Amino acid sequence: MKKMKKFLSLSVAAVLALSMTACGSKAGDTQNADATEKSSSNAKYTVGICQLVQHEALDAATKGFKDYLTEKLGDDVVFDEQNAQGDSATCATIVNSFVSKNEEFVNFVEDLAKLALTAESNDIEAFKAMAYEGATVADALTAKIAKIGENMSIRRIEKASGDVLASYVHGGGRIGVIVVGSGEATDAVKEALTNIAMQVAAMNPQYVSRDEISAEELAKIREITLESALNDPFSLPKPILNELMDKAVAGVWSAEDVAILEEKRNDKSFNFNYLPNFLSKEAKAQLADLAVADKAAISANKIFLGLVEGRVSKQLKDICLLDQTYVRAEDGKQTVAKYLESVDKNLSLAKVVRFEVGEGIEKKEEDFAAEVAAQLK
């Protein structure tokens, strides 16, 4: 079979070939408006309005803003009005969606996507140093930030080629996925890879298969799982839990907590799964401390090791694409690997790329709803 190579179409490349993020330049704004579309032929404007919370004063401000623009522009202006319901992350997503519709922003991203296809590597700094319109990409980016009035960054470049390529864009460009398959490019295979792209957009796996996880990463996952189990002693096997509680009774628990334990142990009808609800916060913390201190002995327990391995296996199923349950499985159990096999036994995944606007950016935790409420008092 002659190997086919496909590159991203420009409409998809704008989202997928470059991961570009845009966010409001004024982080504390409670209301943002962005004129995002202008047609040179009929001078039509679409104005995006994001209101953080529903409030009488903010509603009145929004209405006044719309009335003023309508008075000045008449039928030449339409509004895309959205409410973030008091959630700052939702507000940022809405504002980003407004920016991503800006014609100049879209054209700039498409230009850079085409340029990225000529880059020798995926190195971002090298890409920023490439020539673009008489300057460098970095210079052009700085100029666009100043002109559009939004902060933007070029975060990642990925190029893909192979026998069969499928892509999916979600949320108006907020998430983009490329899936490359090895096999015959039949309609059924193309449809299957598109379905997998949708799965990746929704489930965000960290790996395609377990083979991609290094021994170091696997050991880290296992250690974190083990520590998590020790810090949740009531999830430990009963023999280990009982031994820890005996140590707590003999040494660190208060008389009140000891009395509660004895009472519940004497109640044959009591379900011990509910014991944490009756113990003090201090008693539960002390029990966890005892478990951590006894880590070496507990880790040698075969029952405990089985519990840890079971939890590790569950985590790997969540983070590895081929192990995930296929979201459209009719029986609710079919894995992605089994789904691909049912379409074509010779079909395999060569590469999976997922982009999301704002990925890798640390978000400052702010309670905008409380801030607005305080200002309106």
pTM greater than 0.75:
no
Report the chain's mean pLDDT, rounded to a whole number.
Answer: 83
pLDDT on residue 317: 94
Torsion sign (Cα): 97, 99, 101, 105: negative
Between CA 358 and CA 45 the distance in angstroms is 26
pLDDT in tens, 166-180: 999 987 778 999 999
Among the ranges 52-66, 98-112, 339-353, which has the highest mean pLDDT value?
A: 339-353
pLDDT in tens, 323-344: 999 999 989 999 999 999 999 9
Residue scoring higher pLDDT (336 or 25): 336
Q: Which residues contact 22 (CB under 8 A, 6 or more apart)?
A: 96, 99, 100, 105, 148, 150, 151, 152, 357
Are 133 and 140 in contact by the 8 Å Cβ rule? The answer is yes
244-282 core/surface letters (b: 16 or more CB in 10 A; e: else): bbebbeeeebeeebeebbeeeeeeeeeeeeebeeebeee
- Say if residue 49's pLDDT is above 60: yes
